[in-house]
């Protein structure tokens, strides 16, 4: 994800390169950039969803099951069927996961820990970030609590592109923070932090960096089971 400085410098570069400085659409888009540009809400957890992805996906799924102008009874019946189908798909995915072994790519201890901790889909994202660490090197470590990483091909990167990032560590919590703030936005450790972890011998992902929703135990302890999501939602609404 771009930082604020990268976004604004990149926007300026784009408008000048293609002579779009006076374009009405580009002008309006930039004026409301806080409403759509990710760098302006990179500290808000979005679970890798875009601004409209969740609502559009939900609408699409409902339209498949619920005909237009359906009665309330029909809606409830079809919605229950939808939840049942989703539960069955979930169970199938869980069965497939239990029968397959996620294979580490590089063999780091932290990668082996992630292979047992995360679902296959999330572990795939983890490995992609781990691969990106090969594009960075640690160039400064003043006190063991603050690291600076630099892109190995920084000279050939775009002039507006950030090539160095600072990672700070809270030793008491085991919390790593990077200027890119991708972990806060996506909930998965990104390559800059991962580089520091692998180079300093971190064996396991710190507890504070593990989001249960991405793990193989995400369904454990849930109060919503066996297609009862609609009933659970109705019950909660009556409690308000």
pLDDT value at 222 more than 60: no
- pLDDT of amino acid 197: 94
Interior/surface letters 35-49, b for 16+ CB within 10 angstroms, e for the rest: eebbbeebeeebeee
- Which sequence spans correspond to the domains of the chain? 4-41, 53-100+219-239, 109-209
**Residue 91, both tokens:** 């169970």
pLDDT greater at residue 225 or residue 61:
61
Q: What is the pLDDT of residues 116-140, one digit of tens each?
A: 999 888 999 999 999 999 999 999 8
pLDDT tens-digit series, residues 43-84: 777 766 655 555 556 676 777 777 777 788 888 888 888 888
pLDDT at residue 28 in the model: 93
Mean pLDDT calculated for residue range 139-165: 87
Contacts by residues 196-203 (CB-CB < 8 Å, ≥ 24 positions apart): 196/138, 196/147, 196/149, 196/167, 196/169, 197/110, 198/108, 198/110, 198/130, 198/133, 199/138, 202/109, 202/110, 203/109, 203/110, 203/113
Reported as a single tens digit per residue, the pLDDT across 203-218 is 999 999 998 888 988 8
pLDDT over threshold 50, residue 227: no
What's the token pair of residue 148? 């600076």
pLDDT over threshold 50, residue 105: yes
pTM of the model: 0.70
Averaged pLDDT of the chain: 82
* C-alpha dihedral, 157 to 158 to 159 to 160, nearest 10°: -120
pLDDT recorded at residue 234: 46
Average pLDDT (176-188) is: 86
Per-residue pLDDT band for 150 (boundaries 50, 70, 90) equals very high
Q: Give, as one character, the DSSP assignment of residue 104.
A: P
Mean pLDDT on 166-190: 88
203: phi then psi, degrees, rounded to nearest 5: -85, -30
Q: How confident is the model at residue 232 (pLDDT cuts 50, 70, 90)?
A: very low
- The arithmetic mean of pLDDT across residues 21-49, rounded, is 84
């Amino acid at each position: 994800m771009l930082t604020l400085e990268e976004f604004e410098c990149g926007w300026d570069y784009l408008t000048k390169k293609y002579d779009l400085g006076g374009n009405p659409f580009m002008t309006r888009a930039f004026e409301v950039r806080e409403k759509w540009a990710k760098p302006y809400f990179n500290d808000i957890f979005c679970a890798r969803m875009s601004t409209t992805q969740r609502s559009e996906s939900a609408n699409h799924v409902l339209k498949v099951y619920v005909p237009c102008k359906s009665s309330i009874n029909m809606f409830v019946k079809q919605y229950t069927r939808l939840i049942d189908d989703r539960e069955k798909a979930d169970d199938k995915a869980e069965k497939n996961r239990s029968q397959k072994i996620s294979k580490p790519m590089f063999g780091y201890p932290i990668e082996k820990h992630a292979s047992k901790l995360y679902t296959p889909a999330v572990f795939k994202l983890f490995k992609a970030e781990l691969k990106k660490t090969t594009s960075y090197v640690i160039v400064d470590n003043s006190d063991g609590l603050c690291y600076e990483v630099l892109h190995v091909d920084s000279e050939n990167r775009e002039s507006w592109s950030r090539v160095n990032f600072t990672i700070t560590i809270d030793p008491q919590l085991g919390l790593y923070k990077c200027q890119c703030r991708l972990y806060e936005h996506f909930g998965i450790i990104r390559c800059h932090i991962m580089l520091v972890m692998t180079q300093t011998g971190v064996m396991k992902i710190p507890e504070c960096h593990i989001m249960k929703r991405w793990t193989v135990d995400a369904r454990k302890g849930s109060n919503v089971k066996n297609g009862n999501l609609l009933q659970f939602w109705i019950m909660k609404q009556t409690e308000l």
